[in-house]
Each structure stands twice: as C-alpha cells, then as structure tokens.
Amino acid sequence: AGANRERNSTHPEDIAFCPTFSQGRAGALDVNVTQVRMVDVEKDMSSWVSEGGCWKPSECKARVKMSLIIPYRNRYEQLSILVRNIHPMLKRQNLDYRMIVIEQAGDTPFNRAMLFNIGYQEALKFDNYTCFVFHDVDLIPEDDRNDYGCPSSPRHLSVAVDKFDYRLPYDTIFGGAGSFTKDDFQLINGFSNQFWGWGGEDDDLFNRITAKGLRLTRPSLRVGRYKMLKAFHRRTSKADPIRHAKLETSVDRMSSDGLNSLHYIIENLTEHPLYTLVKVDVKDAL
C-alpha cells in the first residue's frame, strides 16, 4: 500500500516545466489604455492574483522566477492601467512572478536607476528570483510574445514604442523596459546610483554591459511593441544637467557605484492586492 501511495501522489519535482506560453496566447494584444480605478482592477483580478501582486502556474513548473520592478512617484493613474494590462500577459507567459513598485519619497529629483537597484534587493528578500524585468510605469506592452522570462540576457524589451513611430530611436538605447538574469545584473553591479533627474542612466547601463563583454539582445520590432501613456501630471523631474559628463566615467565608476554602494531607508512596505509597494527615502544618497 505504501508503494502504491508513492506512485499515485504527485511530487512537485515530477511536474513538467511549463511551455513558454500557455494555450490561448494572443500575439498582438488588444491593449486597453483608458483610465480605470485601481479598486475596479482589483475586483477583476484579485480572484487569481495573490496578495503582493504574485502569480505562478499550478499545472506545471514555471521556467523561471521573475520579479517585475517598477520605479514610481505620483503616477497612480498610469499604475492602474499598467497593472490591468500586465498581469494577464505575465500569466499567459506561465511565469512565477511578483510585481514590485518602488516609490521614491519626498521631492528630490527622481532617481530611476537607484529605484531599480532597490527593487532588485527587496525582491530577493521575498524569493530567489533569477530574472528581473526593469520597467517604466508608462509603458504598456502590445504583444504577449514579448518574453518577460529572460530568454536571453541582457535584453532590451521596449524596442518599438508608439511615441518613436515604433522604431528604435538609436542603436544603443536601453531605456523603457529591459531584463537581466540575476548573474548578469550582479556582474555589472546593477545600475549607477548617481543619475538624479531625467536621462543618461540607461546609457550608463549600456556602457556597463559592453564593458563586461555582454551583448544586448532584443525581440523583433513586431513583437517588442509598446504604447506610452500620456502623463496626467506635469513632469516634476528636470533633465540631469551633468549627465553627459557622468557618461564619460561609466566604466571607472562601475565597480564602486551600484548594488554595492546602495543606501536607502524603507518608509513603508505594503503588499497591496495587485502589487507590492515599497516606499523608500533616498535623499541621504544625494
């Protein structure tokens, strides 16, 4: 009887890996970018998204554990639109994932790159994620074949944005949305923490990856399509006036400026129904 019970029970290690995409995947998505209240998105999705913004397949073993990191401040309207569109897509991709929103407290210039580094570190306190997607709050993917599970690394995801007429504006661009395996992100010491205000931090990241001999990969222009949401508020962050000078020293700084020099204070950490929100004070780093 004992042996029989052994045979009949399903051990987690017996379950097969999931296919890259679940059945019924759509390809080109019918993106909905109209305004929506977060409470209404919650009503729609909290039956299957777990608290903190998590989901994982139950019929098969996920290929990868992925953490989606969104830097954020004062863009609640955009966040609810992203949340509404991203969960169904990640589910169709059969990923074991958590969505983490990192909010910068106060009104110091926005430091997008540092918020990504913080998201990476905070994600690893929840689970042993091996894939990280670094994603702006105002970009809505239009094709669910755009793989958020790090099929290659590093990978630029937002290659065809409507604002740029669905073309790549320049060859080395790494802005918008991109992904790294944990090993590759560690290898480059994450992003620089020194870019306050708009621009340059993604170009600095590109310099880091080439310095380490990594090659940026991309989906096709047909698959890597995004809509950029309009800003509902005036932009609060001006361009960083010395960003071009900083780009001259990307490679010299990379071993001492990044994951290993990150300082922040957590003001609040809340597992909301559809995402984990971590509010951080980074002003001491300025």
Interaction site with ligand NGS (CB under 6 A): 175, 199-200, 202-203, 243-244
Report in angstroms how near the CB of residue 243 gets to ligand NGS at its nearest.
5
Strand partners, 76: none
CB burial readout 41-63, b (16+ within 10 A) else e: bbeebeeebeebbbbbbeeebbb
Report in angstroms how near the CB of residue 86 gets to ligand NGS at its nearest.
19
Report in angstroms how near the CB of residue 244 gets to ligand NGS at its nearest.
6
Report in angstroms how near the CB of residue 246 gets to ligand NGS at its nearest.
9
Report in angstroms how near the CB of residue 114 gets to ligand NGS at its nearest.
15
CB burial readout 170-191, b (16+ within 10 A) else e: eeebbbbbbbbbbebbebbbbb
Report in angstroms how near the CB of residue 157 gets to ligand NGS at its nearest.
14
- Answer positive or negative: Cα dihedral of 45, 147, 142, 71: positive
In the complex with ligand NGS, the residue whose CB is nearer, 120 or 195, is: 195
In the complex with ligand NGS, the residue whose CB is nearer, 53 or 190, is: 190
Kind and range of the H or E element at 39?
Answer: helix 38-45
Write the burial class of residue 152 (CB in 10 Å: 0-12 exposed, 13-18 middle, 19+ buried).
middle
In the complex with ligand NGS, the residue whose CB is nearer, 43 or 163, is: 163
In the complex with ligand NGS, the residue whose CB is nearer, 245 or 266, is: 245
In the complex with ligand NGS, the residue whose CB is nearer, 72 or 129, is: 72
**Cβ proximity of 91 and 68 under 8 Å:** no
Beta pairing, strands 54-55 & 96-104: antiparallel
In the complex with ligand NGS, the residue whose CB is nearer, 141 or 175, is: 175
Report in angstroms how near the CB of residue 202 gets to ligand NGS at its nearest.
5
- Which among 188, 283, 176, 196 has a CA at the least distance from the CA of 243? 196
**Cβ proximity of 193 and 260 under 8 Å:** no
Report in angstroms how near the CB of residue 170 gets to ligand NGS at its nearest.
8
What distance in Å separates the CA atoms of residue 45 and residue 39, rounded to the nearest whole number? Answer: 10
Write the burial class of residue 213 (CB in 10 Å: 0-12 exposed, 13-18 middle, 19+ buried).
exposed
In the complex with ligand NGS, the residue whose CB is nearer, 154 or 175, is: 175
In the complex with ligand NGS, the residue whose CB is nearer, 203 or 257, is: 203
CA dihedral 144, 96, 119, 76 (to 10 degrees): 50
